[in-house]
Amino acid sequence: MADQLADLRYDIALANRMLAHEGVLDAFGHVSARHPDDPNRYLLSRSRAPELVEPDDILEYTLDSGPVTATDIPQYSERVIHGEIYKARPDVMSVCHHHAPAFMPLVICGIDFKPVFHLGAVGGLNPPFWDQRDEFGDTNLLVVKPEEGASLARRLGQHWMVLMNRHGVTVAGTSVRETVFRCYFSSRNAEYQIAAAAAGAAQPLSPGEVKHAFNLGTGTTGQARSWEVWTARLGKAGGLPPRGKTAAKPKAKAAAAPKRRTARR
């Protein structure tokens, strides 16, 4: 189990970094995974920019989003997004919250996500919108209270993606790799959808096409091929997370900024 847990911690760190490198995450956003041995716990990084997350940054949480081991390390304020979805959906094994630029026109304007190419079907048919204002009034739009996270989880329902008005997107999956695949290709779809609408009459996939194409990320070699190429691109850029234990960093020091790279969409 120790090796399995170590591998999962590495994959979570790698997922954060590759989604940052591919332009889905930036200084904000986060990827988590359900604990491989205890379904009532999940793993999520300490509060850190996704591009910098290391395996040693990964903390263990209860589904109430409290750290299993008490710590004064800064934590993500929106971790209840993850905990409440894991509570509501036993089939979900990984969650990502992001503010991908490609999605922002949709969530700002309230435009429905429509799969417009085959890989875009991983976002599902008619993923719902969640408007925090409807239930909680004016907020700073961060999902920080358990009741806010529970409301978001209810709105996600049995879908695999929920759009958050004026905020971003939350994506679920049955594994870290599936979640990354869904985040990346739904973001590409959102980009193509807006571009196609600007160019003329966009023609989305039919419900039947979405149903058949939905499993391209899990029922073919596509997910493994994508993970491999995203890992290779991150490696060429020098951004792979370290393996094994890293030297402890002084708490008072901010992490050094990495060399700026041009992120891919």
Average pLDDT over residues 23-38: 98
- Please pick, among 78, 148, 178, 191, the residue that the annotation labels catalytic: 78
Long-range contacts of 138-146 (CB under 8 A, 24+ apart): 141/166, 141/167, 142/77, 142/78, 143/78, 143/80, 143/81, 144/77, 144/78, 144/80, 145/80, 146/64, 146/65, 146/80, 146/83, 146/84
pLDDT tier for residue 218 given thresholds of 50, 70 and 90: confident
- Residues belonging to the chain: 265
Q: What is the pLDDT of residue 216?
A: 87
**Which residues contact residue 134 at a Cβ distance below 8 angstroms, ignoring those fewer than 6 apart?**
none
* pLDDT, tens only, 159-212: 999 999 999 999 999 999 999 999 999 999 999 999 999 999 889 999 999 999
Among candidates 91, 122, 116, which has minimal Cα distance to 185? 122
pLDDT tier for residue 258 given thresholds of 50, 70 and 90: very low
Q: What is the pLDDT of residue 174?
A: 97
Residue with tokens 């870290």: 176
Beta bridge partners, 45, equal: 58
CATH of domain 2-236: 3.40.225.10
Mean pLDDT, the chain, whole residue set: 92
For the chain, percent of residues with pLDDT exceeding 70 = 91
* pLDDT, tens only, 77-90: 999 999 999 999 99
Q: Determine contact, residues 21/51, Cβ cutoff 8 Å.
A: yes
Task: Indicate if the pLDDT at residue 260 is higher than 90.
Answer: no
Q: At what angle do helices 222-236 and 2-21 cross, to 10 degrees?
A: 70
Q: In 10 A of CB 190, how many CB atoms?
A: 26
Query: Alpha-carbon distance 210 to 215, whole Å?
Result: 9
Task: Verify whether residue 51 is a known catalytic residue.
Answer: no
Structure tokens at 260: 């700026």
**Which residues contact residue 152 at a Cβ distance below 8 angstroms, ignoring those fewer than 6 apart?**
81, 84, 85, 130, 143, 162, 164, 170
Residue with tokens 């234990």: 245
Element (H, E) at 148: helix 146-156
Query: Alpha-carbon distance 172 to 179, whole Å?
Result: 6
